[in-house]
């Protein structure tokens, strides 16, 4: 796919806005749609000022009508259905042979529904949820896990390369979303252990910087430890991936687990902890605010 490809991007939140920007800077012609049109108009104004080939569309269908590739990054299953399906959705306006890539974290069932709707129109579809958060989107260093056909994957790679550090084709439609659930399960368990470790270190009166230096060099090391230990210790949670979105993702994981007969006792417990923090007003705080469910005890 050459850099003159016409691309539509639906959803300009903290993830979608930077991703669409990377596509424009890669040389694609990018038409954007956002439910709040003011945000889309601001995005176009900002990127037009940089001399990029960008435009705004009033509806998903309008954005998708002349695009070779349509990408979406919205909130949940219902939001994706709104922008992709139905008379005003993107798929109804897409020509056979075009490609729909969804970056939203949704249920595997929703991903398969999109793929089936695309197939009925001759449109290729790829579920491609991402990991790396807002910082990864802004830096163009996201990890992308993909579900769909080999043809869809091959067509998507040159587009995804604009903002990806890692692209992995997991399997058929829905497999990308299942892999994203795996990702969130791992993060939830890691943050639960990290929260308890930090409270234990605080209560033991240890030098927190020295503890971090010691344990981050061994088997306990993780991205969360390297990037969140200090801020969790300081009680700073105003960045990263919000708790309300993590709970949405964990709900998908737990529902899928019930359908497949898989037990996720730790994930279910961590979700309850997140619910408690959410009830304390932490819905928009970073997922590392999980530590707030544990009382602070410093010596």
| Closest CA relative to residue 271, chosen from 120, 257, 103, 259 | 257
Do residues 232 and 291 make contact, with C-beta atoms less than 8 angstroms apart?
A: yes
Q: Taking CA 26 as the corner, what is the angle to CA 24 and CA 32, rounded to the nearest 5 degrees? A: 20
Select which of 180, 199, 228, 292 is catalytic: 180
Helix, strand, coil percentages (3-state) for the chain, rounded to 5, are: 55, 15, 30
**pLDDT digit string (tens) for the chain, length 299 residues:** 444 589 999 999 999 999 999 999 999 999 999 999 999 999 999 999 999 999 999 999 999 999 999 999 999 999 999 999 988 899 999 999 999 999 999 999 999 999 999 999 999 999 999 999 999 999 999 999 999 999 999 999 999 999 999 999 999 999 999 999 999 999 999 999 999 999 999 999 999 999 999 999 999 999 999 999 999 999 999 988 999 999 999 999 999 999 999 999 999 999 999 999 999 999 999 999 999 999 998 87
Domains and CATH numbers, the chain: 6-172 (3.40.50.720), 179-293 (1.10.1040.10)
Half-sphere exposure of 132 (CA within 13 A, CB side): 23
pTM of the model: 0.94
User: Which residues are bridge partners to 99 per DSSP?
Assistant: 69, 124
Establish whether 180 is a catalytic residue: yes
């Amino acid at each position: 796919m050459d850099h003159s490809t016409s691309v539509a991007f639906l959803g300009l939140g903290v993830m979608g806005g930077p991703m669409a920007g990377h596509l424009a800077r890669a040389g694609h012609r990018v038409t954007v749609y956002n439910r709040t049109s003011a945000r889309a108009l601001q995005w176009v104004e900002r990127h037009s000022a940089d001399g990029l080939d960008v435009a705004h569309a009033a509806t998903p269908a309008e954005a998708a009508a002349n695009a070779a590739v349509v990408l979406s990054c919205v909130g949940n299953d219902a939001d994706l259905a709104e922008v992709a399906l139905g008379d005003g959705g993107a798929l109804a306006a897409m020509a056979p042979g075009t490609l729909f890539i969804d970056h939203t974290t949704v249920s595997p069932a929703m991903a398969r529904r999109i793929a089936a709707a695309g197939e009925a129109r001759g449109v290729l579809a790829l579920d491609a949820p991402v990991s790396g958060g807002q910082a990864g989107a802004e830096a163009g260093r996201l990890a992308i896990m993909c579900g769909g056909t080999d043809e869809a994957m091959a067509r998507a790679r040159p587009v995804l390369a604009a903002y990806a550090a890692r692209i992995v084709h997991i399997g058929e439609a829905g497999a990308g979303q299942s892999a994203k659930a795996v990702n969130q399960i791992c993060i939830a368990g890691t943050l639960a252990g990290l929260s308890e470790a930090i409270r234990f270190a605080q209560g033991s009166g240890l030098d927190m910087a020295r503890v971090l230096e010691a344990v981050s060099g061994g088997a306990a090391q993780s991205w969360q430890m390297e990037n969140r230990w200090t801020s969790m210790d300081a009680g700073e949670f105003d960045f990263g991936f919000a708790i309300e979105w993590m709970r949405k993702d964990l709900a998908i994981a737990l529902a899928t687990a019930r359908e497949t007969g898989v037990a996720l006792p730790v994930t279910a417990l961590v979700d309850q902890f997140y619910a408690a923090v959410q009830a304390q007003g932490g819905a928009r705080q970073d997922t590392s605010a999980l530590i707030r469910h544990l009382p602070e005890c410093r010596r």
